[in-house]
Amino acid sequence: MRPIRLRGVIAAVPTPVTEAGEPDTERFLRHARWALANGCDGLNVLGTTGEANSFSAAQRRRVMAAAAAALDPARLMVGTGTPDLATTIDLTRLAHEAGFAAALVLPPYYYKGVSDDGLFAWFERLVAATADAPVPLHLYNFPQMTGIQFSADLAGRLKRAFPDRIAGAKDSSGDLAYAARLARIDGFDVFPSSETALGKAAADGYAGCISATVSVTAPLVARYAARPADAALAAKVAAARAAIAAQPLIPAIKYLVARLHGDPAFERVLPPHLPLTAAQKDALTGIGLEAA
C-alpha cells in the first residue's frame, strides 16, 4: 500500500556503472541498502546524482525494476522527467506499476523562456495520461540545470488543479526563501536539496531534505534530523556538505561511496563527468564515513 507522504531524510543515491557504461544494479542495491540501514528514511533513485539524464529510457527502466524488486518501493522516489512528454509518461506509469512512493519530475527543460501556462499544459497532459497510474508527483526545481524555475504561483496552481497527484517539490535552487514560499502551499511537501535546511524544517514547514551528500553522510544527518537544535551537529553537517560540494559533486559522491564500501568500481562515472583527480581526492580525506 502506497504511503500518504514521503518525509524525512532522503538520500539522492548515485547509480554505479559497469566499464561499458551500463547500470550496475548489484552495486546500486548494495549502496541503497546501506543508506536505508544507516539513517535514511527514503531514497531518491535516478535523480541528478543518479545520472538519470545520461541513461537511455531502457537503462532507467532496468534500474527502476531492480530497485522495486529488491528494496521497499514505498520508501523510494524515482526521477521520471525527460524533455519529451511520451517518455515521461511511460516512466511515470512504470513508477506506479512498480509501487514507487512518488515520481520526481523535471520540467521539459530543452526549451527556455516558456510560460507558466505552457508548463501547466505539459503537466496537465502528464496527469491526464497517467490518471489510471496515479503515482504522486513531485516537481523537480533545479533552475541551474534546466534553465526553468517553477514559480510559486505555478506550483500552487498545479496543486489546486490536481490535489491528489501533485504532492510537492524537490528544490535544488539553494534559495531557502523560495523553498519556504513553496512550503506555504497547503498540502505541498517541500524538500530542499541541502541537509543543512533541516535546522529550519519546523519553522519553514519542510517535509525533510533530498540530498546527494546524505548518500555518504546518512548516519550523521540522521542524528542531526533528530536533534536539529544541536549546534555542534549542525556545524559537522554543514562542514561535511561544504567539503564535498567544493569538488565536482557526482564524482565526489561516487568516490566517497567507493571508499565507504572499499570498492573502487563505485567510482566510475559517465561522460561528460570525469573521475576525481588525486588532488581532489586528497581534499576529501577529512570526510568521516561511518555506520549508524
* In the chain, where the domains are located: 8-282
Q: Please identify every stretch of the chain with a pLDDT value under 50, giving residue numbers as ranges.
A: 1-3, 292
Query: Class of 8-282 per CATH?
Result: alpha beta
pLDDT score, position 291: 58
Catalytic residue, chosen from 140, 178, 206, 224, is 140
pLDDT score, position 1: 44
Q: Which of 193, 168, 203, 194 is nearest to 182 (CA)?
A: 168
Question: What is the pTM for the complete model shown?
Answer: 0.96
**CA 114 to each of CA 35, 138, 150, 161: distance values in angstroms, whole numbers, following the listed order:** 37, 20, 11, 20
Catalytic residue, chosen from 110, 111, 159, 170, is 170
pLDDT score, position 2: 47
Tens digit of pLDDT for each residue in 209-223? 999 999 999 999 999
pLDDT score, position 286: 84
pLDDT score, position 255: 97
Instruction: Verify whether residue 140 is a known catalytic residue.
Output: yes
- The DSSP call for residue 277 is P
Sorted by sequence, the CB contacts under 8 Å of residue 169 that are 6+ apart come out as 138, 139, 140, 141, 150, 155, 182, 188, 189, 190, 191
pLDDT score, position 287: 85
Q: Which of 142, 196, 146, 151 is nearest to 171 (CA)?
A: 142
pLDDT score, position 289: 80
Rounded to whole angstroms, the Cα distance separating 261 from 251 reads 15
∠ Cα 225 2 215 (to 5°): 35
